[in-house]
């Protein structure tokens, strides 16, 4: 991890180590309470706040409630309401970790200011458009490059879709995470966004009858053609079109999805790697798959998000317009 910025207390090992009232076992549980990615995000948020305070010549630590309010209102000029709320959360956590008796972020005046920003800007998140099952089938007809690239891209698109995988999960796959069975494929995610304690998550992808859209078959074809038997599953290519030893980046996966969306005549900026995950959930909802089954495959912890996908599908399937326009 990077050296923490000044007055950043979240995850500070020396503070925990110097607390002689804690046992070694208690210290260890605190050390691993937050994932490194979370701490790094909090550091970035804290740095932004400190830079703003320095520019406006006000104290960042300890900070006044009015300083927090002025900061988030300036931030709101170019950020979404949810981003502002996340930034407040990071500041709150840091002031708490520092042991401040009067955390400025917890003052009612700050909470009211945040509530006002949410009312003014709204909290609707405009995510990437979903790539539905019919889109996937069409997308596979636009595969480009030599046999190696086409085979790899097909496996990425199908595994990403059926597995409802995040781009970091796809990029992070190793051969050792795969278990092929008579019925299909079991993927073990050893680290995921919603698995902060590294307990591991299991994704099941069965064989499907139509081999052209079978993710398990596509992945087997890629591993056979690439002769990859260990290490990263999905890799990039050199200028000489040979396979690299290093794994593909999650950004590259997003670019692959955008590229093929563009070839289909869709606006690439509306699509990304998340379109595969979003598209699976929406497609499942369109086919009236039970919420519980969708959540098992997508590994969503929140019913709210999955229900949003279901509602999105229902708006076009169970639309009253059909009843109005039906021929009697």
> CB within 8 A of 167, min separation 6: which ones?
160, 250, 251, 253, 254, 272, 273, 274
Catalytic-labelled residue, pool 27, 111, 119, 193 = 193
* DSSP code for 232: B
- Residue 70 has a CB neighbour count (10 Å cut-off) of 16
Catalytic-labelled residue, pool 154, 277, 278, 299 = 277
Alpha helices for the chain (secondary structure H)? 13-17, 24-31, 36-55, 65-75, 81-97, 108-121, 133-139, 147-162, 167-171, 215-226, 250-263, 274-286, 291-298, 303-317, 320-325
Whether 121 sits among the annotated catalytic residues: the reply is no
Which neighbouring-strand residues pair with 174?
Answer: 232
Parallel, antiparallel, or unpaired for β 201-206 and 178-180?
A: unpaired
Whether 309 sits among the annotated catalytic residues: the reply is yes
Whether 87 sits among the annotated catalytic residues: the reply is no
35/162 Cα distance (integer angstroms):
27
What is the strand order of the sheet 184-189 is part of?
Answer: 178-180, 184-189, 201-206
Catalytic-labelled residue, pool 162, 260, 271, 309 = 309
224/26 Cα distance (integer angstroms):
48
Q: Are 135 and 270 in contact (CB under 8 A)?
A: no
Whether 300 sits among the annotated catalytic residues: the reply is yes
Catalytic-labelled residue, pool 128, 274, 278, 299 = 274
123/116 Cα distance (integer angstroms):
11
Catalytic-labelled residue, pool 87, 166, 167, 235 = 166
* DSSP code for 266: S
Whether 278 sits among the annotated catalytic residues: the reply is no
Q: Are 158 and 149 in contact (CB under 8 A)?
A: no
Q: Are 241 and 158 in contact (CB under 8 A)?
A: no
Parallel, antiparallel, or unpaired for β 178-180 and 184-189?
A: antiparallel
Catalytic-labelled residue, pool 87, 152, 278, 300 = 300
**Residues with catalytic roles:** 166, 193, 274, 277, 300, 309
């Amino acid at each position: 991890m990077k050296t923490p910025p000044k007055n950043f207390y979240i995850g500070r090992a020396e503070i925990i180590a110097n607390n002689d009232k804690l046992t070694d076992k208690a210290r260890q549980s605190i050390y691993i309470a937050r994932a490194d990615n979370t701490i790094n995000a909090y550091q970035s948020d804290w740095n932004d706040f400190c830079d703003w305070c320095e520019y406006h010549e006000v104290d960042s630590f300890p900070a006044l409630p009015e300083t927090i309010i002025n900061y988030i209102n300036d931030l709101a000029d170019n950020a979404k309401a949810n981003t502002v709320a996340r930034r407040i959360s990071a500041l709150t956590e840091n002031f708490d970790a520092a042991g401040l008796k009067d955390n400025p972020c917890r003052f009612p005046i700050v909470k009211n200011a945040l509530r006002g920003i949410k009312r003014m800007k709204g909290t609707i998140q405009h995510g990437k458009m979903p790539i539905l099952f019919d889109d996937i089938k069409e997308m596979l007809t636009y595969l480009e490059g030599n046999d190696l690239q086409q085979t790899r891209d097909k496996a990425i698109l199908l595994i990403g879709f059926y597995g409802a995988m995040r781009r970091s999960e796809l990029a992070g796959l190793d051969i050792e995470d795969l278990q092929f069975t008579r019925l299909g494929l079991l993927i073990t995610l050893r680290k995921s966004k919603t698995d902060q304690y590294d307990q591991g998550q299991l994704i099941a992808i069965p064989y499907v009858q139509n081999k052209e859209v079978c993710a398990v078959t596509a992945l087997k074809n890629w591993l056979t053609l690439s002769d990859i038997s260990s290490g990263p599953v999905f890799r990039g290519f050199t200028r000489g079109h040979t396979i690299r030893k290093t794994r593909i980046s999650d950004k590259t996966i997003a670019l692959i999805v955008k590229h093929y969306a563009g070839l289909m005549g869709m606006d690439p900026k509306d699509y990304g790697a998340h379109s595969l995950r979003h598209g699976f959930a929406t497609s499942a909802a369109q086919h009236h798959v039970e919420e519980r089954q969708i959540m098992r495959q997508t590994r969503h912890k929140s019913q709210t998000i999955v229900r949003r996908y279901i509602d999105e599908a229902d708006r076009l399937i169970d639309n009253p317009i059909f009843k109005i326009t039906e021929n009697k």
